[in-house]
Amino acid sequence: MSNKLSNNKFHSQIVNLLQSARNTVVRSVNQTMVLTYFEIGKMIVMEEQGGKERAEYGKEIIKGLSKILTKEFGKGFSERNLEQMRQFYLVYSKPQSLSAESKTNKPQTLSALLTSDISPQKSENMILSWSHYLKLMRIDDENERSFYEIEAFKNNWSVRELQRQFDSALYTRLVLSRNKDKVKELSEKGLVFEKPKDAIKDPYILEFIGLPEHSEYSETELEQEIIDKLEHFLLELGNGFTFVARQKRISFDDKHFRIDLVFYNRFLKCFVLIDLKIGEIKHQDLGQMQMYVNYYDREIRLDEENKTIGIVLCRDKSQSVVEYTLPENNEQIFASKYETVLPSKEELKSLIAERNSQR
């Protein structure tokens, strides 16, 4: 029996070694490819600047280069691909403005890295895949692009996950609840959890559950759809969330209550309770969540853990009802809307303008 366990451990060690080596090779190939494409783009731009009629001259450069490289190296060097490399250089060669605090830290984006004193060859962990950068290049706003780049690396997002977060306007939604200093921090550090409010989004986008915007469904059906797509819901919640329980029963004085969803956030070091409401939020809903939070703080959480957070996730809400129900110094109970379809960026930007005017 001991020999069998020993062999299993030996085999696992070899498998882990090979997987680590494979990951290292993939990272190295990605890094080399991205940096090579950046240099090709740079050389194209430099050559263009030597021509008199830049627009036409640039087209001829790319056309001629594509023929030569395709003949020499095969696929991958079409005129379209070379144009993308050119654009890649133009986007990421711009020096990134960093705050005094962030300048003392290791650069977290490719543009910051390429304009720093750190050798890119020694910083492969800062560089995403070429496919990621093809997506990121399409984001015009520099701060928004920087945010998605940092978050994609920190959370190991696939290209598909990056696209989903962009389509759901994650950056724009986070901007809604932050002041100007905190918005700038998003582009320099990504999403950082310092206070409970940092973990809250409004609205949450649940398009992945497949419920049409105006269809009728119960809170139980909504909860089941979320559980069925739990991986997607955790991605929407954000960094550090782990699932704990559904329909968590708490009891006292012969009374029984059930909390729809319970999570734990390892960065904030606290429980996060979520109650689902398919209609407009009422003050009783917030009062009930306050009771759940109080119970968890007094009966469940450990001394070294932080206070529990409660989120009432609703289809609609009156901001006045929320503000007058909760205390002014509230840092534990939150009400957020959810959407079952992807909103347009114009809709979210109008929300930003509206909220800024109220501050």
Residue 61 belongs to some domain of the structure? yes
Decide if 93 is inside a domain: yes
Bond from prior residue into 203 cis (ω within 30 degrees of 0): yes
Tell me the mean pLDDT in the region 317-322. 89
User: Range with the lowest mean pLDDT among 123-127, 286-290, 338-342?
Assistant: 123-127
Identify whether residues 137 and 244 lie together within a single domain.
no
Q: What percent of the chain has pLDDT over 70?
A: 81
Residues 259 and 123 in one domain: no
Inform me whether the pLDDT recorded for 201 exceeds 80: yes
Please indicate, yes or no, whether residues 167 and 213 belong to a single structural domain of this protein.
no
Say if residue 159 is in the same domain as residue 221: no
pLDDT grade for 354, boundaries at 50, 70 and 90: low
Number of separate domains in the chain: 2
Q: Are residues 42 and 107 in the same domain?
A: yes
Q: What is the span of the domain harbouring residue 130?
A: 2-173
Residue 230: φ, ψ to 5°? -60, -40
In a domain, 183, yes or no: no
Last residue of a domain, one of 124, 154, 173: 173
168 and 25 belong to one structural domain: yes
Residue 166 and residue 312 in one domain: no
The candidate with the shortest Cα–Cα distance to 249, out of 237, 240, 239, 257, is: 257
Mean pLDDT rounded to a whole number for the chain: 83
- Taking residues 33-44, report their average pLDDT: 89
Could you give the CA distance from residue 110 to residue 146 in angstroms, rounded to a whole number?
9
In terms of domains, do 129 and 260 share one?
no
> Is 351 a member of any domain?
no
Predicted pLDDT of residue 125: 55
The verdict on 153 and 253 lying in the same domain is no
Q: What is the pLDDT of residue 101?
A: 45
**Which of 135-144, 215-224, 337-346 shows the lowest per-residue confidence on average (mean pLDDT)?**
337-346
Structural domain contains residue 291: yes
The predicted model gives 169-189 an average pLDDT of 78
The DSSP line for 297-338 is IIIIS-TTSPPPEEEEEEEE--HHHHHHHS-TT--SEEEEEE
Whether 138 and 235 map to the same domain: the answer is: no
Residue that wins the pLDDT comparison between 204 and 50? 204
- Structure confidence by residue, pLDDT tens digits, 52-67: 555 566 778 888 888 9
CATH of the domain at 217: 3.40.1350.10
More confident residue, 351 or 210: 210
Residue 245 counted as domain residue = yes
Average pLDDT, integer, range 354-358: 56
Which of 153, 173, 193 is the last residue before a domain boundary? 173
Are residues 79 and 216 located together in one domain of the fold?
no
Question: What is the structure's pLDDT at 203?
Answer: 85
Q: What count of other Cβ atoms lies within 10 Å of the Cβ of residue 321?
A: 16
Q: Same domain for 161 and 118? A: yes
